[in-house]
């Protein structure tokens, strides 16, 4: 394949299934341009179509509609072995009957690379993932983290124009996951290869990606830098997924520029409009750590239902007199079963149109 592509174009990428006579779109008109060298993450809950998208790009699933273009070359009609994209699988998919070295050498062997060159490249790849001394072992003799690194070495040794990773860290324990996350980032900056990384973990996506594609129900919801996705989700769905746990239903009283004055269940809130609000009802999404103790721009009085100590801060669940549940994270201390005065700034209360109203 052409290694020096400038942009990977996903054009109207669609994949449909037929189940019991009903059509179902696992992936619906995905449109994204990915420049060379970018680390892009497909993020979303399970069943959102992110893995389907990755498998379509790899060539393991055929497209129902749309095209995949490497610059001006169409690749979606090629079988996976002709695309030459490196892929790291969720369960690693290491060949159990081959040693670590043979696993890594497999792609080079298929490319009829000369023996001496294979030896050299395999050694470089293994040292990149810090497994130089494990070359003669079988995958079954390695720990989960080591297997994961073999899988990465196997995918990068063929110097693919594109590296695809399908939830590569989801089978590792929490500590190892953090280590491997840094490792993947280090390898990416060392090789500067275009990487598409699929995950359901917001932290992974935020820390690794240059750009995040948030998906839901087969559709792209938002494509933006991690900072934007985190602080300004484009839709209520993205907000929910990015950890905006408090969702308040409210009536629209008035709209003034990008601010909306809302009221509902005894609360009056002025919020920042994220998506044009046409109806009379709106949803306000607020992240737990954006609430403050004490008075501020939007004041809320609520009863402290539960305090969960989490180390450097606490998770607090509050209930307003109107029955709204508020989730808050604060380093401060509140008393359980007592009234508390909290507030939220207008900038950090995000207003979205209420679904179906």
Partner 1 sequence: MKHFLAYNKAMLLLVPATAFIFIVFVYPFIYGFLWSFNFLEGDWLANYKSFFSRGDMYPTILVTLKLSLPVTIFNVLLAIPIAFALRQKSRYQKMVTTILVVPITLGAVLLAEGMLTYFGPKGWFIQAIAILGIDDPKLIHNATGVIISLVISGFPFIFLLVLSYITGIDPGLPRAAATLGASPWEQFRYIYLPLLTPGIAMAFCLAFVQAFSVYPSAVLLGSPAGPTRVISIAAYETAFERYDYSMASAVAMIMGFVQLIVVAIVLKLRGLFYRGPVTGGKG
Q: Which residues bind partner 1 (CB under 8 A)?
A: 58-60, 79-81, 83-87, 89-97, 106-107, 110-111, 138-140, 144, 147, 151, 154-155, 158, 164, 171
**Least Cβ distance, residue 69 to partner 1 (angstroms):** 19
Q: How far is the CB of 82 from partner 1 (least distance, A)?
A: 8
CB nearer to partner 1: pick between 107 and 233: 107
Q: Characterize 197-234 residue by residue with b for buried, 16 or more Cβ atoms within 10 angstroms of its Cβ, and e for exposed.
A: bbbbbbebbbebbebbbbbbebbbbbbbebeebbeebb
Q: If you write DSSP's letter for every residue of 152-179 in order, what string do you get?
A: HHHHHTT--SEEEEESTTTTS-HHHHHH
By C-beta, is 49 or 84 nearer to partner 1?
84
3-state secondary structure of 276: coil
Question: Least distance (Å) from partner 1 to the CB of residue 106?
Answer: 5
Q: Are 318 and 305 in contact (CB under 8 A)?
A: yes
Contacts of 112 (CB under 8 A, 6+ apart): none
Nearer to partner 1, 92 or 244 (CB): 92
- Residue (40 or 87) nearer to partner 1, CB: 87
- State how far the Cα of 216 lies from the Cα of 123, in Å rounded to an integer: 41
Minimum distance between the CB of residue 108 and partner 1, rounded to whole angstroms? 9
Cβ count within 10 A of residue 322: 11
Comparison of 13 and 151: residue with beta carbon closer to partner 1: 151
Beta strands in 60-218 (DSSP E): 65-70, 73-74, 86-88, 162-166, 194-199, 211-216
- Residue closer to partner 1, measured from CB, 93 or 293: 93
Closest approach of Cβ 334 to partner 1, in Å?
A: 41
Least distance from partner 1 to the Cβ atom of residue 57, Å: 11
């Amino acid at each position: 394949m052409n290694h020096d592509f400038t942009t990977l174009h996903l054009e109207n990428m669609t994949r449909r299934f037929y189940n019991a006579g009903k059509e179902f779109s696992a992936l619906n008109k995905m449109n994204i341009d990915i420049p060379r060298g970018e680390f892009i993450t497909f993020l979303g809950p399970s069943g959102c179509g992110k893995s389907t998208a990755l498998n379509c790009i790899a060539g393991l699933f055929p497209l129902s509609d749309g095209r995949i273009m490497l610059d001006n070359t169409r690749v979606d009609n090629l079988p996976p072995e002709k695309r030459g994209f490196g892929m790291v699988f969720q369960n690693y998919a290491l060949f159990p009957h081959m040693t670590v070295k043979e696993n890594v050498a497999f792609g080079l062997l298929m490319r009829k690379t000369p023996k001496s060159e294979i030896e050299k490249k395999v050694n470089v790849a293994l040292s990149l993932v810090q497994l130089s001394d494990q070359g003669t072992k079988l995958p079954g003799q390695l720990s989960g983290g080591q297997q994961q690194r073999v899988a990465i070495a196997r995918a990068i040794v063929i110097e693919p124009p594109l590296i695809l990773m399908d939830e590569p860290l989801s089978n590792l324990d929490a500590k190892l996951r953090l280590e491997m996350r840094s490792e993947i980032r280090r390898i990416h900056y060392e090789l500067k290869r275009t990487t598409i990384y699929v995950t359901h973990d917001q932290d992974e996506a935020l820390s690794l990606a240059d750009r995040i594609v948030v998906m839901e129900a087969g559709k792209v919801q938002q494509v933006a830098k991690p900072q934007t996705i985190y602080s300004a989700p484009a839709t209520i769905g993205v907000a929910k997924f990015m950890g905006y746990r408090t969702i308040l239903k409210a009536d629209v009283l008035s709209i003034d520029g990008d601010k909306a004055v809302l009221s509902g269940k005894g609360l009056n809130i002025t919020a920042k409009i994220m998506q044009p609000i046409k109806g009379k009802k709106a949803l306000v999404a607020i992240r737990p750590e954006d609430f403050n103790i004490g008075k501020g721009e939007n004041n809320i009085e609520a009863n402290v239902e539960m305090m969960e100590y989490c180390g450097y801060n606490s998770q607090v669940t509050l209930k307003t007199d109107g029955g709204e549940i508020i989730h808050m994270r604060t380093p401060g201390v509140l008393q359980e079963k007592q009234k508390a005065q909290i507030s939220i700034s207008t900038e950090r209360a995000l207003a979205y149109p209420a679904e179906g109203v």
